[in-house]
Amino acid sequence: MSLRRIKNYKKRADFVSKKTGVNLDQIKRAGELIEGEQVHCENLIGATLFPMGVAGPLKLEDLASKKVWKAYIPLATTEGALVASVNRGCRAVLKAGRVKVLVEKIGVTRAPVFKVKGLVQADKFRHYLEERFEHFKKITASTSSHLRLLRYDFSLHPPFCYVRFYFDPDQAMGMNMATIASQKIIEFIEKDSGVKCVSVSGNFCVDKKPSFLNFLYGRGFRVWAEAELSISICKEILKVRPEEIRKVWNAKNMAGSAFSGSLGFNAHFANIVAAFFAATGQDLAHTVEGSLGTTFAEVRGESLYFSISLPAVMVGVVGGGTKLKTKREAIEMTGAKTPEDLAKVLAGAVLSGELSLLASLVEGSLAKTHMKLGR
Amino acid sequence: MSLRRIKNYKKRADFVSKKTGVNLDQIKRAGELIEGEQVHCENLIGATLFPMGVAGPLKLEDLASKKVWKAYIPLATTEGALVASVNRGCRAVLKAGRVKVLVEKIGVTRAPVFKVKGLVQADKFRHYLEERFEHFKKITASTSSHLRLLRYDFSLHPPFCYVRFYFDPDQAMGMNMATIASQKIIEFIEKDSGVKCVSVSGNFCVDKKPSFLNFLYGRGFRVWAEAELSISICKEILKVRPEEIRKVWNAKNMAGSAFSGSLGFNAHFANIVAAFFAATGQDLAHTVEGSLGTTFAEVRGESLYFSISLPAVMVGVVGGGTKLKTKREAIEMTGAKTPEDLAKVLAGAVLSGELSLLASLVEGSLAKTHMKLGR
Amino acid sequence: MSLRRIKNYKKRADFVSKKTGVNLDQIKRAGELIEGEQVHCENLIGATLFPMGVAGPLKLEDLASKKVWKAYIPLATTEGALVASVNRGCRAVLKAGRVKVLVEKIGVTRAPVFKVKGLVQADKFRHYLEERFEHFKKITASTSSHLRLLRYDFSLHPPFCYVRFYFDPDQAMGMNMATIASQKIIEFIEKDSGVKCVSVSGNFCVDKKPSFLNFLYGRGFRVWAEAELSISICKEILKVRPEEIRKVWNAKNMAGSAFSGSLGFNAHFANIVAAFFAATGQDLAHTVEGSLGTTFAEVRGESLYFSISLPAVMVGVVGGGTKLKTKREAIEMTGAKTPEDLAKVLAGAVLSGELSLLASLVEGSLAKTHMKLGR
Amino acid sequence: MSLRRIKNYKKRADFVSKKTGVNLDQIKRAGELIEGEQVHCENLIGATLFPMGVAGPLKLEDLASKKVWKAYIPLATTEGALVASVNRGCRAVLKAGRVKVLVEKIGVTRAPVFKVKGLVQADKFRHYLEERFEHFKKITASTSSHLRLLRYDFSLHPPFCYVRFYFDPDQAMGMNMATIASQKIIEFIEKDSGVKCVSVSGNFCVDKKPSFLNFLYGRGFRVWAEAELSISICKEILKVRPEEIRKVWNAKNMAGSAFSGSLGFNAHFANIVAAFFAATGQDLAHTVEGSLGTTFAEVRGESLYFSISLPAVMVGVVGGGTKLKTKREAIEMTGAKTPEDLAKVLAGAVLSGELSLLASLVEGSLAKTHMKLGR
């Protein structure tokens, strides 16, 4: 009997218990808490738990809408010191005033790879795509009233043509919608042009792999955040002087990342992104591109100017994991009503967490904190 | 009143509810399930839930020990189709026989950055480190009976010296232990040599950022897995012919990754790594380096040869999230007693998931599956 | 007395001879051959010689203009086997018919970096640039009747704004013209907007450094070439079967490059680019981005399909080194009247050289050839 | 009649003239100057000329040997302003005293790719290589009394095994010697172990392609240089204040390179490397890895500390282009007797050229200089 055939999650867990001799009572018990919810997980045996902490609040100011709001930051993690660290950063940043945030909608991307005979056909195919673009938009709209095709990039390495479609998925993260629409567009293209598609994803999307393409072109949302902290706030809350933060930033985030061939010019974006995604029902694997990004530190007069950029934030407020009740509560806690807003909260959290860790590194307290909280 | 001052997680949740107007009952309720457990999360307000599915079993053969065992693969995810896909891969691979796995212990790394005056002092410092290495091992051992210093790399960009220490953390993932030991070594170095440390981490570790350093040198465990599938298994279970898998692999995993400036020459390692880490209590942010890796597909006679490499798997079976009961059950379900074994199970799961997705891409079923399971 | 003060190149050489005890007669003698020419080299002491060989001819077909012409390929090099190898490739390719080439004018790029106070000013600056773009075009035109501003990219990492201008420099390679125009635009921007420029080049150009930006976005010209060779041509001239070329390409150009963290998915583009640039008076340092690029090999029926892409070819037919008589003759020898044409000839040469080296690697003759020609 | 059949370079040039209608008199005339020399260039039609300038002197201090010498720097280029710029940097650096240099011999590398059946054979092969290493050293020594095998790296991506051999080629750059020795080792391995080699170069060398492997592991020589310049020297000769250099360095060399996905954290290493290689008979295509590298600028008190690192300098003083008389004179002019020394001179030149360009960017004089010298 195979796992798929068992229809009840507890019976499936029991089957695995029998096969492995391992008691799965806790997993089953946790499973009870999501019973009746819309769960996207096959071969279910129950659920697992992540402790959830909260950091904040932050006062965020969106530069486009001028909207200002206080956001609490939900973080699901099993790593000691993380929430405490982000929270300390938030306290410093809140005391300094508003975190300014700016967001740019890049769109969720999906890049089918087509195969042509050679350059002649590739050149024709390029023109074909231009001509048919409006029709591709219609096909997209026909797959979902919530999806719009924005534009595409074309990359030719004969005989392969990578066509990177950018979609606006409204309130969802939209990866699945983008795949479905791309598939429909492909079916049309294959019939209409005779050019064959090798794969609906040609790794030019780039989904869940670190890539310079996403780092440079962006994906989902590109979001920036900045704050300016007086020397007294730095000293009182972060226990450092602005110049010390700048020095660690320079040696570590810039030079260290450069010299190790890293894409990420930051200290630990991934910690905050992963914990925030786990809390708010995002796709955990999007931590990979979601944690790409850069930082900047500078002493201005006696103050510290600090900024961060996240080029590829894939988030949604409907669909996928956001349907789960614990995730929904976490999203609501942030005050975000849209994916854009969620990206802004994340940016504020990332900035706070980054500042706090850099400060810990200055004072040499990282090891001490881990001794206390991490073991 | 600040969040930190509240001592009870439910009261803290209520405080946030009051401030935000958001009901956090589900998070609190989930929190009850980890009450009494050793939780590493500050400012706790409860817990969040991840549905857990199971894939497998796989029959793994460790090439070093010749050990063979059947492993079930726990996957915690909110993304539809993932578990089903990995499971399909497992069925194909199991039918083909054993997944051969090979693992190399690289060690958990931590790389302080020191600042020297210039080349003269840098050159002396390099020799100093060589001379004192045995003493650093002793310092390491003094911080934990479970930690051994293995070796270090030295990278000079004057005036910065990055010293990448490699530790064997026994059964733990070991990042915190490595930080604590590094801090002790640094304190000794500063006093003994007069060279000052800028930061206990100089981003040459490289922790939780995508980097060519980890891709090339490895981190934690480097693990390989391979399988050979007959054409009949490919056709029956994966609905494709071996040559078709090879073609998608070539256009997508190799060419597409190359042409998009990606570090990951794979289709979706991150999906499996993130879900496996969430299930087994690993640090979610380690998905970043854990999902680096390469694949290879080749038609041999009528069969498909397929292999994967994961250069930077950071896992443990004690400490951190592995203490949580639901995580512990998941680890036990895999049959792994050691981090090495856990890395091997992950490798088998990654290979299976990769095969299955590539097959879906061949048949153009990805979109269809997402229509059915993903929404 | 300083070098700069000496007005005659032979006297300057004599001065150096006196200081170093080294006879510089050959350099002085070579210098006589460029006397009276327009030389762009300060502190002149004479000249140095590069042996020049010729490969070809190739029959090139430009897919846009349908123009077909036979091109001889001048190669200046001191490395044995290079010209012979390219020539062998040309023979194979010529026998197979035409090399199809396609070219895209990206434009010469220069990217000043501006510094703003923060996100508010950055956002305004972005809009300011859009509004003033037409004026920037006018400023550009005022600096040279041969230069047109095409477009720009904007990259924000607060407080830095990188503005990558794309220029069409007509018949020149145009780097200096682009710098001069950028400087004029900057002067206008600084006065008009109050935003200050940190540097006329912010390394976002990217000039003469390997970068994923150039690899993905292109620079100068992006050019593709392809050829299809029958099995009999492969066997007769290249001494290999198509499948063997494909295998070496796969293990070396694709997998080897991927696994070593390389930007160049090719065997030795740089050899041909450097020798061609040296022969035709291009800027030698542009070999860095000029040799970026990818290859593709596939067996079609019994034939070999082979293609190459060069994303960042910076070439000109007027200005700089192209004024020297030996360089001018070499340009004319190719039949190229424009930079586009020169890029196409280069692409054909690169394709030929690549094919020939891969063939040598198959037959294991590389070492033997170097034993004969290289020592 | 084919080009190869013609035995005399002037007749070959005449043949091309006839075919193309292009007069090649200047190329032929330049060819006369290398008549009788040992030329490594097939299908010779003559020679091409590069103007040669000189910069310097620099006072170099080698930190290992404590040797101090004055070096003149030969630069062959067709690009205006380059020699003048390097020379200005030299003047500033000379006035400041000594350029300290440190060199590490990495070795010339060649990395054959072998193909195994799978992990079992790969693991055996790894051990086999360890066991036979001493014999590989003997084989190496048998191919040349000037070549020593130092060590190797092993990289496994089943079924491919990349074996990166490091050789010490004595006074030569050694790429050809390394290839020949690798070929002999391969022949032995194939017979002795039964494992087949796919290609003597598997692009894991990495020869003449930009790669993070070379950037991190080094190739040929790794060399560092540093200088400290007082504020008065900066102001008098470079027309800038130390802090201004630091700011441009930060925005351009570090941030700009990081944000454009560049391997090279420098302003224009390639300019100096290419001109120096052209002057001294090095392989021009080695400019690609030779120009990889990083810079650092810092204000110390009132002075400017500046350093550079070049991780992959492939140079020799015998063999290849160094046999040509004009090249030989240029090498001698530097005072270098060994490849190490040549690498040190290059490092000093690169440091000087970098400083001077950064200063030009500060004062906004780059465009002006090009207006004067570049056109």
pLDDT (0 to 100) of residue C370: 66
Cβ <8 Å between B63 and D118: no
- Neighbours of C (≥3 Cβ pairs closer than 8 A)? A, B, D
Structural domain includes residue B117: yes
CB C292 within 8 A of CB C311: yes
State the Cα–Cα distance between residues B257 and D41, nearest whole angstrom: 37
Q: Are the beta carbons of C212 and B259 separated by less than 8 Å? A: no
Q: Is the previous residue joined to D159 through a cis bond, with omega within 30 degrees of 0?
A: yes
Residues B7-58: pLDDT tens digits? 899 999 999 999 999 999 999 999 999 999 999 999 999 999 999 999 999 9
Q: How far apart are CA C142 and CA C125, in angstroms?
A: 23
Measure CB to CB from residue C216 to each of B216, B257, B261 and give the nearest one: B261
Report how far apart, in Å, the C-alpha atoms of C68 and of each of C1, C61, C289 are: 57, 4, 27
Which ranges constitute the DSSP H helices of chain B?
9-20, 25-32, 82-96, 119-143, 175-193, 212-217, 231-233, 242-248, 257-259, 269-280, 287-290, 325-333, 339-363, 366-369
Subunits touching A (CB < 8 Å, at least 3 pairs)?
B, C, D
Minimal-distance CA residue of chain C relative to A227: C118
What average pLDDT is seen over chain A?
A: 96
Alpha helix locations (H) across chain A? Answer: 9-20, 25-32, 82-96, 119-143, 175-193, 212-217, 231-233, 242-248, 257-259, 269-280, 287-290, 325-333, 339-363, 366-369
Structural contact between residues A271 and A254, judged by C-beta atoms closer than 8 angstroms: no
* Contact present, C202 and C162 (Cβ < 8 Å): yes
Query: Which own/partner pairs from B6-11 qualify as long-range (CB within 8 Å, at least 24 positions apart)?
Result: B9/B44, B9/B45, B9/B46, B10/B45, B10/B46
Q: Which 3 state secondary structure label does DSSP give A80?
A: coil
CA angle C236, C239, C240 (to 5 degrees): 115
How far is the alpha carbon of A29 from chain C, nearest alpha carbon, in Å? 45
Report in angstroms the alpha-carbon separations of A120 from A156, A188, B251: 12, 21, 19
In the beta sheet, which residues pair with residue B154?
A: B163
DSSP SS3 for B270? helix
Residue D7 has pLDDT above 90, yes or no: no
Closest chain A residue to C101, measured at CA = A119
Cβ contact, residue pair A157, B255, below 8 Å: yes
pLDDT band with cut points at 50, 70 and 90 for residue A264 = confident
Best of A17, A78, A165, A197 to substitute, by most chain B Cβ atoms within 10 angstroms, is A78
Classify residue C210: in a domain, yes or no. no
Contact C123 A63 (CB under 8 A): yes
Dump pLDDT digits (tens) for D35-45. 999 999 999 99
Same domain? B31 vs B170: no
Same domain, B228 and B344: yes
pLDDT of B259 reads 96
Q: What CATH number should be reported for the domain holding residue C351?
A: 3.90.770.10
Same domain, A307 and A230: yes
Question: What CATH number is given to the structural domain containing C178?
Answer: 3.30.70.420
pTM score > 0.90 for this model?
yes
- Say how far residue A238 (Cα) sits from the centre of its chain: 27
Percentage of chain C lying above the pLDDT 90 cut: 95
Is there a single domain that holds both residue A334 and residue A283? yes
Chain D positions contacting chain A at CB under 8 Å are: 212, 215-216, 254-255, 257-261, 263, 265, 294, 296
pLDDT of res. B375: 47
Run of H or E including D30: helix D25-32
Please indicate, yes or no, if residue B179 is contained in any of the structural domains.
Answer: yes
**Mean pLDDT estimate for chain C:** 96
* Cβ–Cβ gap B256/A202 under 8 Å: yes
Model pLDDT, residue D374 = 54
Whole-angstrom Cα distance, residue B50 to residue A50?
8
pLDDT above 90 covers a percentage of chain D that reads 95
By C-alpha distance, the chain A residue nearest D257 is: A258
Q: Bridge partners of C49?
A: D49
Q: Do B254 and C255 touch (CB under 8 A)?
A: yes
> Cβ separation of B226 and D119 shorter than 8 Å?
yes
- Asked whether the beta carbons of D137 and D148 are under 8 A apart, the reply is yes
pLDDT at C368: 67
Same domain, B254 and B155: no
Residue D195 has pLDDT above 60, yes or no: yes
Nearest-5° angle of CA C40, CA C42, CA C46? 85
Report how far residue A132's alpha carbon sits from residue A228's, in angstroms, rounded to the nearest whole number: 48
First to last CA, chain A: 42
- Kindly report which listed range (A292-301, B234-243, D207-216, D363-372) carries the lowest average pLDDT score: D363-372
Average pLDDT over residues A271-292: 98
pLDDT value for C375: 47
Instruction: Report residue B373's pLDDT band, with 50, 70 and 90 as the boundaries.
Output: low
> What is the predicted pLDDT for the residue at D314?
98
Say whether A119 and C307 touch across the interface (CB within 8 A). Answer: yes
Q: How far is CA A326 from CA A74, B374, C147, D335, in A?
A: 11, 19, 60, 73
E strand or H helix at C232, and its extent?
helix C231-233
B340 and B235 in a common domain: yes
Among C170, C226, C283, C341, the active-site one is: C283
Hey, CA dihedral for A325, A330, A333, A338, is it positive or negative? negative
Instruction: Tally the domains of chain B.
Output: 3
Residue C212 inside a domain? The answer is no
Q: How far apart are the C-alpha atoms of D63 and B83, rounded to whole Å?
A: 59
Residue C260: closest C-alpha in chain B: B216
Q: What mean pLDDT comes out for the span B192-196?
A: 96
Q: Looking at the domain assignment, is residue C209 inside a domain?
A: no
CA distance C143 to chain A (A): 31
User: In whole angstroms, what is the distance from residue C109 CA to residue C120 CA?
Assistant: 27
CA distance C64 to chain D (A): 23
Q: How far is CA C114 from CA C55, C95, C197, D34, D248, in A?
A: 46, 53, 4, 50, 11
Which residues of B have a catalytic role annotated? 79, 283, 370
Q: How much is the ipTM here? A: 0.97
Scanning the structure block, which residue is given the tokens 């990395």?
D111
pLDDT score recorded for residue A364: 76
- Asked whether the beta carbons of C85 and C356 are under 8 A apart, the reply is yes
Q: Summarize the confidence of residues B348-360 as an average pLDDT.
A: 98
Cα C129 to Cα C123: distance, rounded to the nearest angstrom: 10
| Same domain as C308, residue C330 | yes
Position D372 scores a pLDDT of 67
Look at residue B207 and tell me if it is in a domain: no
CB contact under 8 A, B255 and C254: yes
Contact B191, A254 (CB under 8 A): no
Are A314 and A193 in a shared domain? no
Q: Is D335 helix (H, G, I), strand (E, B) or coil?
A: coil
The reply to whether A9 and A142 lie within a common domain is: no
Residue A296, in any domain of the structure: yes
What SS3 string covers B214-236?
HHHHCCEEEEEEEEEECHHHHHH
How many other C-beta atoms lie within 10 A of the C-beta of residue B6?
18
pLDDT per residue as tens digits for the range A65-84:
999 999 999 999 999 999 99
Active site residue D370: yes
State pLDDT tens for residues A171-230. Answer: 999 999 999 999 999 999 999 999 999 999 999 999 999 999 999 999 999 999 999 999
d(CA B95, CA D230): 73
C150 and C187 co-located in one domain: yes
Q: Which of A326, A334, A354 to mutate to test the interface with B (most CBs of B within 10 A)?
A: A326
Helix (H) or strand (E) holding B162: strand B160-168
Contacts of D335 in chain C (CB under 8 A): 20
Q: How many CB atoms lie within 10 A of CB D129?
A: 19
D89 and D229 housed in the same domain = yes
pLDDT digits (tens, 9 = 90+) for A13-39: 999 999 999 999 999 999 999 999 999
Q: How many CB pairs under 8 A join A and B?
A: 502
Query: What does the block give as tokens for C161?
Result: 């704004």
Res D358: pLDDT: 97
Q: How far apart are CA B208 and CA B220, in angstroms?
A: 12
Catalytic residue (one of D14, D168, D243, D370): D370
Residues of D in contact with B226 (CB under 8 A): 118-119, 158
Q: What is the pLDDT of residues D161-193, one digit of tens each?
A: 999 999 999 999 999 999 999 999 999 999 999
Do C189 and C236 reside in the same domain of the chain? no
Can you list the residues of chain C whose pLDDT is less than 50? 375
Q: Which of A286, D158, A9, C125 is nearest to B298 (CA)?
A: D158
Does the annotation count C14 as an active-site position? no
In the prediction, which pLDDT does A2 show?
A: 77
d(CA B277, CA B315): 8
Coil, helix or strand at residue D80: coil
Domain stop point among A199, A230, A265:
A199
Residue B159, CA distances (Å) to A351, B129, B150, D297 in order: 28, 16, 26, 9
Q: How far apart are CA B63 and CA B77, in angstroms?
A: 30
C-beta atoms of D100 and B119 within 8 A: yes
Contact residues for C33 (Cβ-Cβ < 8 A; gap 6+): C47, D26, D29, D30, D33, D49
Burial of residue D190 (number of CB atoms within 10 Å: 0-12, 13-18, 19+): middle
Whether A177 maps to a domain, the answer reads yes
Contacts of C215 in chain A (CB under 8 A): 212
pLDDT in tens, B260-317: 999 989 999 999 999 999 999 999 999 999 999 999 999 999 999 999 999 999 999 9
For CA atoms C251, C257, C259, C260, the dihedral sign is: positive
Per the annotation, the verdict on D168 as an active-site residue is no
Residue C364 has a pLDDT of 76
- The boundaries of the domain holding residue C301 are 52-105+220-373
**To the nearest whole number, what is the mean pLDDT of chain D?**
96
pLDDT at A375: 47
Environment class of D100 (CB within 10 Å of its CB; exposed 0-12, middle 13-18, buried 19+)? buried
